Structure 1
């Protein structure tokens, strides 16, 4: 209940004050009650203490009225004094001038900082304005195009010459890069027989692709809203064009895929459903694969367990595809190791699920008997 009374008192100070000149008659009831309840005892001494507190409260209010501090900030000072000294208004009157002096000093320092920052910003703004004038003589674009971009910058960032300058610089760099790219792409096309071939053949699909690349991939955009820049470089474009050439060259040199056989089932299983993480490589004209893992009983999604296999297959190319010459089982299962072919041997590093063998290095070779 006492906390509520203090809160009401502070609200009275904030809401009823500063209407001045202030008299004893203007003291709010809740403030008067708080002062009366603060002093104990009876008789003349208590009455004098109450009167002194009221007089101090009136002086505090008139000091606030005479100050040139905004009402909102003044209320903060008054409430702060009450929080520190309660109903000891004599003490509050004595501290009021010090609080006001501290407030004014803080305001002065803030205003000085704002003034310096504003001055600095204005200097940067004027410097950018002069740089914009210099850009108008060395932009490398037609006068009409530059003027249109300048008007767009002024519309987007009115009176902000720093942002306008960045906008213009981005547009100029984009224009320069675009022209440079067109020139280099022209040279690139002339020096590529594949490009010449397609141009002579009037390949419409290729022409459309080049147009798209020139219009969209040859794109450098500077995002000036936040003064961040993003750029697609010439090297990336040439890489894309080179890759495109290689793709088109498949018309003459296609990579073909076809089935040449199937591996038999691993020992103890009905069929080979395919494995991952195989040992693999070639020795002369022999193909060797083996090991690997799969889920031969049930898929993983149905709760199946992964099995790593021991089987190693020796295969050789024939008229009908790859022919199985031999199937053996290694001592331990292997899978997900690293295969290194040297021409005469295949080295298989690690890959065993068994802790005792997961650092093993397996050497595979082919023995031919005449």
Structure 2
């Protein structure tokens, strides 16, 4: 009986040790440094609170869909602003990600509205004509997308070409999805 109790206590202790929140060593050192003024359970609670925030911060960054370089840049800026206060960083990271995505959207919108020079536009028009002639997509479907490209980018054959190349490259995947999901569409 006593062996079972001792074994249970050992297992429980190892469980508690394994359940500690794992963060990189540099983060651990920063948190310990920032919690120097606290003592006892307040210190442990503060550090665990910040570790949880750090892990949530990393998860949000990973799920944001931003390039790694931009995630690192945002994290560096937040760290410069708030130091090891990961709770505060967690409060503002969504705004930072939204700001970045909005900036990218505005730049893409502006680039789409910029008309290329005449030579580039003429070359893109010829390449677009050749691309459309050599595709296996049915003409009726191609005409729908071609009309959309003309509406979205009037007179900008460089943008129309990019749009149509995107459609042509993804069309087999769309077609495959339709074949595999006929029951949903009926």
TM-score for the superposition, normalised by structure 2? 0.52
1:30 corresponds to 2:26: yes
- Report the Cα offset of residue 48 of structure 1: 0.7
The 2-side partners of 1:126 and 1:37 are apart by 59
Larger relative contact order (Cα-Cα within 8 Å, sequence gap ≥ 6): 2
Residue pair 2:31, 2:50 contacting (<8 A) in 1 also: yes
- Report the CA distance shift for 1:121/1:48 in structure 2 as closer, same or farther (over 3 A): same
Runs of 4+ in 1 over 3 A off after TM superposition: 122-130
Q: Which of 116, 124, 127 pairs up with 1:121? A: 116
Aligned to 1:79: 76
The 2-side partners of 1:129 and 1:123 are apart by 10
The 1-side partners of 2:89 and 2:124 are apart by 54
Task: Report which of the two has the higher share of strand.
Answer: 1
Q: Which of 55, 63, 72 pairs up with 1:66? A: 63
Task: Report which of the two has the higher share of helix.
Answer: 2
- Report the Cα offset of residue 46 of structure 1: 1.4
The 2-side partners of 1:63 and 1:97 are apart by 8
Aligned to 1:95: 92
In our comparison, the structure showing a higher alpha carbon Rg is 1
What does 1:173-212 correspond to in 2, within 5 Å? none
The 1-side partners of 2:96 and 2:45 are apart by 28
Aligned to 2:137: none
The 1-side partners of 2:46 and 2:119 are apart by 62
TM-score for the superposition, normalised by structure 1? 0.27
What per-residue deviation string (whole Å, max 9, x for no partner) do you get for residues 186-230 of structure 1? Answer: xxxxxxxxxxxxxxxxxxxxxxxxxxxxxxxxxxxxxxxxxxxxx
Aligned to 2:183: none
Residue pair 2:21, 2:48 contacting (<8 A) in 1 also: no
- Report the CA distance shift for 1:93/1:124 in structure 2 as closer, same or farther (over 3 A): same
Residue pair 2:57, 2:90 contacting (<8 A) in 1 also: yes
What does 1:41-56 correspond to in 2, within 5 Å? 41-56=38-53
RMSD between superposed Cα atoms in Å: 2.4
Tell me the secondary structure at the aligned position of residue 24 of structure 1.
Answer: coil
Aligned to 2:106: 109
- Report the Cα offset of residue 122 of structure 1: 6.2
- Report the Cα offset of residue 41 of structure 1: 2.5
- Report the Cα offset of residue 90 of structure 1: 0.4
